[in-house]
Amino acid sequence: MKKQLSIFVSLALMILMSGSAFAQKEVIKTEKIKVGIDCPMGKAAIEKELVKTPGVKTVVVSMDTKVATITYVDGKTNRDQLVASIEKIGYKTEYSKSTTTVKSGCSKSCEKSCGH
């Protein structure tokens, strides 16, 4: 019985250890997407909401270049999903189709201050 238990424990340990040895490493990618923002509230909205997308690690939007720099886990999301998420937030991107319509991401207070 002791020998069988010892064999069972050894096999269990080997299986557990082999799982970690063959675990795939996350591949992190960076995507730069030009976004149609005109004010700091749009920047904040994209940074706050886009990071909630599964697989997204970080989001930084530049007001100067109007480019969102997004780091994400490859396989959990991709550029098309990121673009769709930005459109859902209320902003078009350089990859948005000309027929794409978005509900403005600007709040009422933003619309008054920046004229959207």
For the segment 5-15, the average pLDDT, to the nearest whole number, is 65
pLDDT at 12 over 80: no
DSSP per-residue codes, 30-54: EEEEEB---SHHHHHHHHHHHTTST
Query: Quick one: pLDDT band at residue 16, thresholds 50, 70, 90?
Result: low
* Residue 58 main-chain phi, psi, to 5 deg: -140, 155
Domains plus CATH for the chain? 28-105 (3.30.70.100)
Q: Is the pTM of this model over 0.75?
A: no
pLDDT digits (tens, 9 = 90+) for 51-75: 999 999 999 999 999 999 999 999 9
Is residue 70 within 8 Å of 81, Cβ to Cβ? no
Q: How far is CA 15 from the centre of its chain?
A: 33
